[in-house]
Amino acid sequence: MINEQNCADGFGFTAVGTKNKVTKVTEAQVSGCEEAAARTVEMAAGGEEMQLKPVGMRQGASFASFASFSEGPGPVRSFTAAGRASPP
């Protein structure tokens, strides 16, 4: 069974023939709505280290989810529904 505790110390996977490794999963803080959950996922993909921050939020009957990521040093960028990167 896969659960947060099993994933916290990392795991490996292959996507489109490339070996990847999630090295650490931790809870991240998020606020501003009735319910929210976020994680910081540290990973190595294609020899590069990066962070992925998935977020899910609920306000009333509305639910939103999004993710931001950082490829190495520098600011974290978020992508809009249209797939365009936001300014840093």
The pLDDT assigned to 62 comes to 93
The pLDDT assigned to 60 comes to 93
pLDDT 10s digits, 37-87: 998 888 887 777 888 889 999 999 999 998 887 765 555 555 444 444 445
Q: Is 40 exposed, middle or buried (0-12, 13-18, 19+ CB in 10 A)?
A: middle
The pLDDT assigned to 23 comes to 87
pLDDT 10s digits, 20-48: 888 888 888 888 889 999 988 888 877 77
Q: Is the pTM of this model over 0.75?
A: no
